[in-house]
C-alpha cells in the first residue's frame, strides 16, 4: 500500500492517482467501446435501448460504490495510524455485506426491471431490448456480430468482462498484498467493523443512491423526447463521464491522502496536498473543456452518425463542457471532506443541489422552448451550488482544526 504521509505532496498524489486513473480509463474505454459497437452495428434504436437502462444499473451499483468509499477511508486511516492488523477485517466485512446486498438487488432487478422501464417513460419500441440488457448484463463484437445476440450480446459481454476483472484484481491482491487479500472460503464478519464502515459508507452510499434516483428522473425526461434524444444522451453522457474522470480520480486520491495524513496527525500536509490537487484539477479540467467543446460533433459521431443524434449530443457537450472547472473544484473539496471522515455533508450537498435544484430545474426548463437543451443546462447550476456548499463547510472545518492546534 502506498504511504502518502511522506515525500512531496504533489508527487504522492500523482503516484497514487495514476493507477486509479489508468484503471478507470480502461473501464471507461470499455464502456465507450461497448456503446460504440452497439450504436454502429445495431443502430440508433439499440443504442437508445441500452442508454435507457443505464441509470437503473447505476442505481444498483451505487450501493457497492458507497460502501467501497467507506472501506477506503477506514483502511487509509488505519494505514496512516500503522494499525495494519485491522485492515483485513474491513476488507472481509465489506465483501460479505456488499455481496449479500447485491444478491438482494439482483433478485429485485430480475423481478421488476420491465416495470421500472415502463415507469421511466421508455418508448414501447425500445422496451424489449432495454429489458433484455438489464436482465443479462472486444466480446461485444463476438456476441453481437458473429453470434447475432443483439443487445443481449452486449450485456453478456459486460458480465463476462466484470467477472474477468474481479479475478484479475483478486490475483493482484494475493500477489502484492497477501495480508489484505480475502480468503473467499473463510471470510470473517465483524459487527463493530460493519458499524464503522456504515458510519462513513452509508452517507456515501445514500449520496450515490440519491444521485442515481435523480438521474432516473433526468432519463425519464430525455425518454420523452424520443429515440434520437435517448441515443444522443447515451453517447454524450459517455463522453461526459470520460471528461469528468480525471477530476473524480484526483478527488479519490486526495481522499486517501487526507485519510492517511489525518491518521498520522499531519494537518499541514493535508492543506498542501489540497492546494496541489486543486491546481492540477483546474488545469486538466480547463484543457479538457477546450477539447470537448471544439470537437463535440466528432465525439458524438463515433457512436452514431445520424445527423439528428449528432446535433443533440453536440448541444449537450458544448453546454456542460464550459463548466468542467467547477465540477473539478467540487471533487477536490469532496475528497478532502471524505478523507476527514465527514461524509454527511457531501450527502446533504448532493441531495440539496442535485435532487432539489438540478433535477427540478431540468424538469422546468425541459418544458420551455429550450426542450432537451434545458435538461443539459441544469447541470452547471447544480455544480455551482454543490461547490459553494462544500466550500463553506470545509472552511468551517479548517477553522475548527486550527483552533484545536
Q: What is the mean pLDDT of the chain?
A: 79
pLDDT at 47: 64
Each residue's pLDDT tens digit, 140-188:
434 434 444 444 555 565 666 667 777 877 887 788 777 777 777 777 7
Q: Taking each helix axis as running N to C, give the angle between helix 124-136 and helix 227-263, from 0 to 180 degrees, rounded to the nearest 10.
A: 30
Please list, residue by residue across 314-352, b when 16 or more beta carbons sit within 10 angstroms of its beta carbon and e when fewer do. Answer: bbbbbbbbebbbbbbbbbbbbbbbbbbbbbbbbbebbbb
Write out pLDDT tens, residues 195-239: 877 777 777 778 777 877 888 889 889 988 988 998 899 889 989
Spans of all domains in the chain: 1-23+225-404, 43-224
- Give the pTM: 0.70
- Where do runs of H (alpha helix) occur along 38-141? 44-80, 87-119, 124-136, 140-141
Amino acid at each position: 500500500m502506498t504511504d502518502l504521509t511522506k515525500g512531496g505532496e504533489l508527487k504522492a498524489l500523482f503516484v497514487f492517482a495514476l493507477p486509479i486513473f489508468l484503471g478507470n480509463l480502461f473501464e471507461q474505454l470499455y464502456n465507450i467501446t461497448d456503446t460504440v459497437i452497439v450504436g454502429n452495428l445495431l443502430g440508433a434504436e439499440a443504442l437508445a435501448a441500452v442508454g435507457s437502462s443505464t441509470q437503473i444499473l447505476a442505481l444498483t451499483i451505487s450501493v457497492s460504490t458507497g460502501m467501497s468509499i467507506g472501506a477506503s477511508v477506514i483502511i487509509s486511516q488505519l494505514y496512516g495510524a500503522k494499525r495494519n492488523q485491522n485492515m483485513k477485517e474491513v476488507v472481509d466485512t465489506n465483501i460479505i455485506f456488499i455481496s449479500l446486498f447485491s444478491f438482494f438487488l439482483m433478485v429485485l432487478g430480475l423481478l421488476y426491471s420491465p416495470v421500472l422501464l415502463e415507469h421511466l417513460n421508455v418508448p414501447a419500441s425500445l422496451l424489449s431490448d432495454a429489458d433484455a440488457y438489464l436482465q443479462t448484463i472486444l466480446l461485444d463484437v463476438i456476441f453481437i456480430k458473429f453470434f447475432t445476440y443483439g443487445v443481449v450480446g452486449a450485456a453478456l459481454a459486460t458480465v463476462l468482462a466484470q467477472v474477468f476483472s474481479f479475478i484479475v484484481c483478486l490475483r493482484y491482491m494475493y500477489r502484492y498484498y497477501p495480508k489484505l487479500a480475502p480468503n473467499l472460503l473463510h471470510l470473517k464478519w465483524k459487527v463493530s467493523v460493519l458499524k464503522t464502515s456504515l458510519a462513513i459508507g452509508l452517507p456515501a452510499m445514500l449520496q450515490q443512491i440519491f444521485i442515481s434516483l435523480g438521474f432516473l428522473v433526468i432519463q425519464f425526461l430525455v425518454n420523452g423526447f424520443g429515440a434520437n434524444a435517448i441515443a444522443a444522451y447515451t453517447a454524450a453522457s459517455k463522453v461526459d463521464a470520460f471528461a469528468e474522470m480525471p477530476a473524480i480520480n484526483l478527488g479519490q486520491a486526495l481522499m486517501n491522502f487526507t485519510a492517511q495524513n489525518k491518521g498520522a496527525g499531519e494537518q499541514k500536509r493535508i492543506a498542501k496536498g489540497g492546494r496541489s490537487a486543486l491546481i492540477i484539477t483546474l488545469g486538466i479540467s480547463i484543457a479538457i473543456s477546450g477539447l470537448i467543446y471544439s470537437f463535440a460533433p466528432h465525439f458524438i459521431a463515433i457512436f452514431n452518425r445520424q445527423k439528428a443524434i449528432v446535433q443533440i449530443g453536440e448541444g449537450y457537450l458544448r453546454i456542460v463542457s464550459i463548466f468542467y472547472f467547477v465540477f473539478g473544484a467540487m471533487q477536490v473539496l469532496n475528497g478532502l471532506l471524505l478523507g476527514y471522515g465527514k461524509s454527511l455533508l457531501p450527502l446533504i450537498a448532493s441531495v440539496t443541489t442535485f435532487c432539489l435544484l438540478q433535477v427540478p430545474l431540468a424538469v422546468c426548463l425541459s418544458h420551455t422552448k429550450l426542450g432537451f437543451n434545458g435538461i443539459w443546462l441544469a447541470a452547471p447550476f447544480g455544480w455551482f451550488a454543490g461547490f459553494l456548499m462544500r466550500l463553506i463547510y470545509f472552511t468551517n472545518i479548517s477553522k475548527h482544526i486550527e483552533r484545536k492546534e
